[in-house]
Amino acid sequence: MNVAPPTLFLTDWLIACPTVRVRVCLIFNPTAKGDRARRWRSRLEELGDDCELRPTTQVGGGIALARTAVEDGFDTIVAAGGDGTINEVVNGMAQAGGLAQSRLGVLPCGSVNVFAKELCLPMKFENAWEVVLNGRERMVDLGWMELGDKKIRRCFVQLAGAGLDGRAVELIEWEKKKRLGDLAYILAGWQAVGEDMPCITVRADGREVQGELVVVGNGRFYGGRHVFFPDAKMDDGILDVVVVEEIRRSRILKYGWTVLMNRVTSMDGAHYFQAKEFEMTAEERVPAQMDGDAVGELPARVTVEQKALRVLVGDC
């Protein structure tokens, strides 16, 4: 097994050990700061012959790396990070036409890890890596969003949203997110609630609903293990949608209690439905997010591709 000398950084080790027997391609950000990131980097260095590490050093870099990994013939591509990293890797796989060829593995080391929690993936490094090596495959749906006047098309694995949700993600500062984790999302959400939110019109299956917040789920969870979409299944070929008519700071405690009690769909002014496709439009600028990263603005057309992604899972 090749082990990096203690004085070398991860990128130095990659250069020093070019002849590695490759079984897995693992995409990871070696420049992430913090004690947890340093611990994970040390564990990744110890993998040696089990995988080829491909570091990314900028937001969005995982897309190109995953696309290249598919082109290089890897049948297992691992995303080491949070939901945003997973989103980049899956989009890269999709762009390369590799969803049928390659399967996704996950080493959850992000701030929230909603997708990993949805699939009951272990949070400890050793257990997560065991799933990558010996887990079973599960086929899950992929959500797709076609955004803006240029109709930029991108997929999401767990969540998407627009309005207050998209604005909160847009307000998150990268350094604050690394330092505060979940709290960064809460603070950004509080700031967004204080702004005037444009009205979003959602059209699906002949019905029309309006609201300031739209969240879309491929699974049940949002923001951790909070159940926003109680009827959701990741392989049913249907997306779950919650539209909230208005959000006010004066009701923030009520909202918080509703989320903690997993009763979002029963909240006053909340509309919950399922659809294979729908559209979102607005007369003013409305930002959108996918898997916790800002991705663009409305209008948007949202669809689902049933059982399009092969992902490695363990015993739930």
> Going from the N-terminus, what domains does the chain have, and what CATH number goes with each?
10-110 (3.40.50.10330), 144-310 (2.60.200.40)
pLDDT at 50: 66
The letter for the amino acid at 220 is: R
pLDDT > 70 in the chain, percent = 85
pLDDT at 295: 94
pLDDT at 140: 98
User: Which ranges of the chain have pLDDT less than 70?
Assistant: 1-22, 30-41, 48-50, 174-175, 178, 181, 316
pLDDT at 256: 82
Q: Are 140 and 311 in contact (CB under 8 A)?
A: yes
pLDDT at 290: 97
The letter for the amino acid at 184 is: A
Q: Is residue 2 classed exposed, middle or buried when 0-12, 13-18 and 19+ CB atoms within 10 A define those classes?
A: middle
Q: Which residue has the tokens 């997110």?
A: 177
d(CA 294, CA 163): 11
pLDDT at 35: 58
Q: Name the token pair of 64.
A: 């190109």
d(CA 107, CA 42): 14
Residues in CB range of 291: below 8 A, 6 or more apart: 83, 84, 86, 87, 114, 115, 156, 157, 158, 159, 160
Strands 239-244 and 287-290 come out as unpaired
Q: Name the token pair of 20.
A: 């590695």
Q: Name the token pair of 88.
A: 């980049």
Secondary structure (H, E, C), 146-186: EECCCCEEEEECCEEEEEHHHHHHHHCCHHHHHHHCHHHHH
pLDDT at 37: 57
